[in-house]
Every structure is written in structure tokens, then in C-alpha cells.
């Protein structure tokens, strides 16, 4: 195999609400994730004393991070994608002063990463926001959220300016269209107009965060984060091909705004036809002109589009539903496995934006078995990742600028869509089950040693 560049950022990606636990510790406020104990598609519930959610403890990364970071270092990680829980810094979201205990926690975590020369890549908002902002202000539907987010972003830029040089604004910003509560703090049955207005506010907040980052940490780079929802036409019927273009635009639109600095024409037409009139001020237009330095995205699967209603059988995904591709196999969770799609996507994004790309999520959610001798044989995960990384190498050969690859969930964590831990992504097994039982002990899986070799050899051990 051709080697990856020496400066390629190999690593893994986690999110605060899926690993930390400690949901009420050190002054942390209630987040949108805390009130969805069954995950993104579960109900929003009022938390009452004594009730339980798997996420309350998660994998207890809040307390166990030194052990976990040491394991990441043992694998040779050069980069760890983490997120900051907004509610640790501004518990209700509208305070004027940050919570020092929350800031101090991330200082400790970042210092631990620095000890091992693991570069942090920090997402400002990964599927959570303060419930205070939802209850009091109506979430991102309210323009004031832009200011609250500014305060939060500026606070963490100032605080960690010497420790963090790679940032991301909103995780999978395009998924608000499918999960509005998680994305923008709006009820699931909100009108399209309300959702797009909230999205607009979030896009402005993202652009202002990019500006603030450039001002406060001039040597940092800040990117956006898209759910790479690659779609193919199910047939070569021109109607299917055009419908696919439109479907891809429904998520690429976010990238267009964040990379090109304005709402694209096809979206303005869509809004007109839907009779949606957005409040977009002159100031907003100016703000949007500040574009990201690089593009990051998640990639798990691809899907198909058809205009034929009879064929419109939807496949399952965590957020998107898509038509089954007859040429692809599925994971245990029904996600269609398509390594070549990753090469296609990398080329497509590079052709469109000519900005460096960072794969910040990819991996296989599967059921693993902890053997009596403490081993876990997860050859299926190795196969999945091998095949995807081979396609990344191909894209590099194609001339695409790929900065790095952080696999999703290098340590088992709580899944986002259904809040289960039995869907495991890790190279490191965590002893906990969906009922919350287990010691939380960590075990190295077969894939742990394999990924360690991938990093050590710069991909030379991959099998084409």
C-alpha cells in the first residue's frame, strides 16, 4: 500500500455527551442531550430526581480520561477529536460569566493530551446545547442565540488559545433538517420555515465563530462539520439523476454557505417555492462572508434516490433514510457499507470547494463479544476500516487534500441515535451494557493492535 503523508492526522473522535457522564457535576447545566435519554429519536422528557439515563454516567470519561488518553497514545494517536459541553461552560446558556470548574476540566483534559503530543480537534457544539436556551428563548429560532453562542465561543477560544489550534463549529450542521430538537432546539413538528430560520441563525453564529477564532488565535484553523450524506441515483433516468442532485444539495447547501459565504441560488429558489420568507439582515450577509479554513465530515454509508414511488423503500440510517442500494451489504444496524463512496465523496468535496478535507467520523457500529480471556475478536471492524482507508489512500492519489482521519468512537461510547452502548465502535471495549450494568473496565480489542500498526506504518499494512 502507498503510505499516507507523514503529517497525516491519525486518531479518533468522541463527543462530550456520549462519553463524559458526570451530567450534574461541577456546575454543569442541563443539556438537550440530557433530556433525550433514548437518543436523538427518542422523546424529550422532563428529568426528575432518581430517574436514569445511560448517558448520565456514559463511559465515565469525565473521571477516567487519563486512562483513556494513555490508551489512545498507546495506539499512536496524533489527534483526538473531542467536544466541549456548552453546559459545563455556560450552564443555562445566558450567563455573563463562565463556570470556572467547567473550564478547568477541559484544561486538565487538554493538558493530558499535550503530555502525549496528541493534537486536539475541538467541536464547539456536538449534538447538545443548554436546555435553558431552549426553555427561555425557544432555541435557535431566536436570534439572541447568536450572541449567546458568541460569548461561549469567544470564552473557549480565549481560554484554550495556546492549547487548541484545530476547531470545528457545529457537528453535522445539516442534520437539523432531520432532527430539529438536537440540532437547533426546536420541536420535531416545527414548520420548515421555522427550521430554516433557526438554521440561518446557526450558520451566522458559525461564521461569527470562524471570525472570532481567526482574531483570537491567528495560527489556528477552524472548519465546519457536515454529515456526508452521499446519494446515488437508483437509475440513469434523467429524473432520478436530477432528484439526486437536489438531494445532495440539501446537505451540500450548508457547505456552500460555510465555504462560499452566501446562500446559493438553488436554495433561494427552494425557499421561494415553499413560500418561506427568512429574516436575513444585511449584517447577516456580511457575517456569512467569513468562510471556514477546512471542511470536515462524517461518513458511514451512502444511499440512493429514486423518483419511482413503488421503489421508494427506505433503508435505515441514524439520521437519514435512504433507498437501498442493491449492490451494497448492510451493517447490523442496516447502514449500507460503501467504502468507494468515501473516495467519491472526498473527490466531490475537493472538486467543489478546493479546501482541505478532514474525515472526522467513520467506523462500524457492531455487537462485540468479550471473551472469557478478556479478548475481543472484531475482524469485521478491521475489514470495514481497512476498506475505507484504502479508498482514502486512493483519494490522496487522486490529488485530494486530506488532512486526517479520526475514526468514530475509538473507545465504546453511547450511540447518538438510540442511546445504546451495545452498538460499539471502539478499538477499546468498555464493560457496560444497555441496562447500565458493568464495571466500566477497558479492554483492548483485536482492532486496537491493528489500528496501532496502521498508524505506525503510515497505512503500509492496509490490504488493497
Binding mask 311-330 for ligand BG6 (x = CB under 6 A): -------xx-----------
Which three-class secondary structure state does DSSP give residue 231?
strand
Cα separation, 285 vs 415, in Å, equals 36
Residue 415 within binding range of ligand BG6, rule CB under 6 A? yes
Which range touches ligand BG6 (CB under 6 A), out of 157-165, 188-196, 412-420, 443-451?
Answer: 412-420
* Closest to ligand BG6 by CB, 82 or 462: 82
CB of 92 to ligand BG6, least distance (A): 24
Q: Which of residues 93-152 bind ligand BG6 (CB under 6 A)?
A: 127
Which range touches ligand BG6 (CB under 6 A), out of 63-71, 286-294, 397-405, 416-424?
Answer: 416-424
Residue 168's DSSP bridge partners are: 123, 223
Beta-carbon contacts of residue 391 (< 8 Å; ≥ 6 apart): 339, 340, 342, 343, 346
* Closest to ligand BG6 by CB, 320 or 396: 320
Which range touches ligand BG6 (CB under 6 A), out of 107-115, 230-238, 382-390, 409-417?
Answer: 409-417
* Closest to ligand BG6 by CB, 145 or 301: 301
HEC assignment per residue over 257-315: HHHHCCCCHHHHHHHHHCCCCCCCCHHHHHHHCCCCCEEEEECCCCEEECCCHHHCCEE
Q: Which of residues 158-217 bind ligand BG6 (CB under 6 A)?
A: 171-172
Residue 298 within binding range of ligand BG6, rule CB under 6 A? yes
Residue 423 within binding range of ligand BG6, rule CB under 6 A? yes
* Closest to ligand BG6 by CB, 284 or 361: 361
Cα separation, 295 vs 358, in Å, equals 6
Cα separation, 448 vs 453, in Å, equals 9
Ramachandran area for residue 36 (φ above 0: left; ψ -120 to 50: alpha; else beta): beta
Q: What angle (nearest 5°) sits at the alpha carbon of residue 68, between those of residues 366 and 163? A: 120
Pairing state between β 402-408 and 357-361? parallel
- Interface residue with ligand BG6 among 152, 160, 384, 408 (CB under 6 A) is 408
Q: Active-site residue among 25, 361, 397, 420?
A: 361
Applying CB under 6 A, what is the total number of residues that bind ligand BG6? 16
* Closest to ligand BG6 by CB, 43 or 238: 43
Q: State yes or no: is 361 an active-site residue.
A: yes
Residue 55 within binding range of ligand BG6, rule CB under 6 A? no
Q: Please, are residues 87 and 30 in contact by the beta-carbon 8 Å criterion?
A: yes
At which residue does the C-alpha cell 486538565 appear? 108
Residue 15 within binding range of ligand BG6, rule CB under 6 A? yes
Residue 221: what are its φ and ψ, rounded to 5°?
-125, 140
Element (H, E) at 395: helix 379-397
Residue 4 within binding range of ligand BG6, rule CB under 6 A? no
Residue 221's DSSP bridge partners are: 166
CB of 124 to ligand BG6, least distance (A): 14
* Closest to ligand BG6 by CB, 172 or 284: 172
Q: Please, are residues 342 and 405 in contact by the beta-carbon 8 Å criterion?
A: no
CB of 456 to ligand BG6, least distance (A): 27
Cα separation, 323 vs 364, in Å, equals 20
Residue 254 within binding range of ligand BG6, rule CB under 6 A? no
* Closest to ligand BG6 by CB, 171 or 386: 171
Instruction: Count Cα neighbours of 428 within 13 Å in the Cβ-side half-sphere.
Output: 26
* Closest to ligand BG6 by CB, 210 or 319: 319
Binding mask 222-251 for ligand BG6 (x = CB under 6 A): -----x------------------------
Cα separation, 398 vs 376, in Å, equals 36
Binding mask 360-379 for ligand BG6 (x = CB under 6 A): -x---x--------------
Give the binding site for ligand BG6 (CB under 6 A): 15, 18, 127, 171-172, 227, 298, 318-319, 361, 365, 408, 415-417, 423
The catalytic residue positions are: 361
Amino acid at each position: 500500500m502507498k503510505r499516507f503523508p507523514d503529517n497525516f492526522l491519525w486518531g479518533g473522535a468522541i463527543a462530550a455527551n456520549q462519553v463524559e457522564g458526570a451530567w450534574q457535576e461541577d456546575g454543569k447545566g442541563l443539556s438537550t442531550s440530557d433530556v433525550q435519554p433514548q437518543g436523538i429519536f427518542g422523546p424529550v422528557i422532563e428529568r426528575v430526581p432518581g430517574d436514569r439515563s445511560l448517558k448520565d454516567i456514559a463511559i465515565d470519561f469525565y473521571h477516567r480520561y487519563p486512562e483513556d488518553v494513555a490508551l489512545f497514545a498507546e495506539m499512536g494517536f496524533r489527534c483526538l477529536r473531542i467536544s466541549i459541553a456548552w453546559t459545563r461552560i455556560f450552564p443555562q446558556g445566558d450567563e455573563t460569566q463562565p463556570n470556572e470548574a467547567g473550564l478547568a476540566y477541559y484544561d486538565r483534559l487538554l493538558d493530558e493530551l499535550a503530555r502525549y503530543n496528541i493534537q486536539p480537534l475541538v467541536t464547539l457544539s456536538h449534538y447538545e446545547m443548554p436546555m435553558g436556551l431552549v426553555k427561555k428563548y425557544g432555541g435557535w429560532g431566536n436570534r439572541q442565540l447568536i450572541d449567546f453562542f458568541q460569548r461561549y465561543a469567544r470564552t473557549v477560544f480565549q481560554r484554550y488559545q495556546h492549547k487548541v489550534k484545530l476547531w470545528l463549529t457545529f457537528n453535522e450542521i445539516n442534520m437539523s433538517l432531520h432532527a430539529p430538537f438536537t440540532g437547533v432546539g426546536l420541536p420535531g413538528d416545527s414548520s420548515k420555515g421555522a427550521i430554516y430560520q433557526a438554521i440561518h441563525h446557526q450558520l451566522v453564529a458559525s461564521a461569527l465563530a470562524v471570525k472570532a477564532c481567526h482574531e483570537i488565535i491567528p495560527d489556528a484553523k477552524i472548519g465546519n462539520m457536515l454529515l456526508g450524506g452521499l446519494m446515488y441515483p437508483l437509475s440513469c433516468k434523467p429524473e432520478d439523476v436530477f432528484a439526486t442532485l437536489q438531494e445532495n444539495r440539501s446537505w451540500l447547501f450548508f457547505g456552500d454557505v460555510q465555504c462560499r459565504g452566501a446562500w446559493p441560488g438553488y436554495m433561494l429558489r427552494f425557499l421561494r417555492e415553499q413560500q418561506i420568507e427568512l429574516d436575513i439582515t444585511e449584517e447577516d450577509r456580511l457575517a456569512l462572508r467569513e468562510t471556514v479554513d477546512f471542511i470536515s465530515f462524517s461518513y458511514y454509508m451512502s444511499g440512493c434516490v429514486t423518483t419511482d414511488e413503488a421503489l421508494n423503500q427506505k433503508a435505515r440510517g441514524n439520521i437519514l433514510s435512504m433507498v437501498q442500494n442493491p449492490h451494497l451489504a448492510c451493517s447490523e444496524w442496516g447502514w449500507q457499507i460503501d467504502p468507494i463512496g468515501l473516495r467519491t465523496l472526498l473527490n466531490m468535496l475537493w472538486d467543489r470547494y478546493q479546501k482541505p478535507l478532514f474525515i472526522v467520523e467513520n467506523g462500524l457500529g457492531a455487537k462485540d463479544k468479550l471473551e472469557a480471556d478478556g479478548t475481543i475478536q472484531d475482524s469485521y471492524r478491521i475489514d470495514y476500516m481497512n476498506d475505507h482507508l484504502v479508498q482514502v489512500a486512493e483519494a490522496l492519489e487522486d490529488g485530494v487534500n486530506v488532512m486526517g482521519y479520526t475514526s468514530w468512537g475509538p473507545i465504546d461510547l453511547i450511540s447518538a441515535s438510540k442511546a445504546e452502548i451495545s452498538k460499539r465502535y471502539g478499538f477499546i471495549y468498555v464493560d457496560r451494557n444497555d441496562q447500565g450494568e458493568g464495571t466500566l473496565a477497558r479492554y483492548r480489542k483485536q482492532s486496537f493492535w491493528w489500528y496501532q500498526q496502521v498508524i505506525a506504518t503510515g497505512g503500509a499494512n492496509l490490504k488493497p
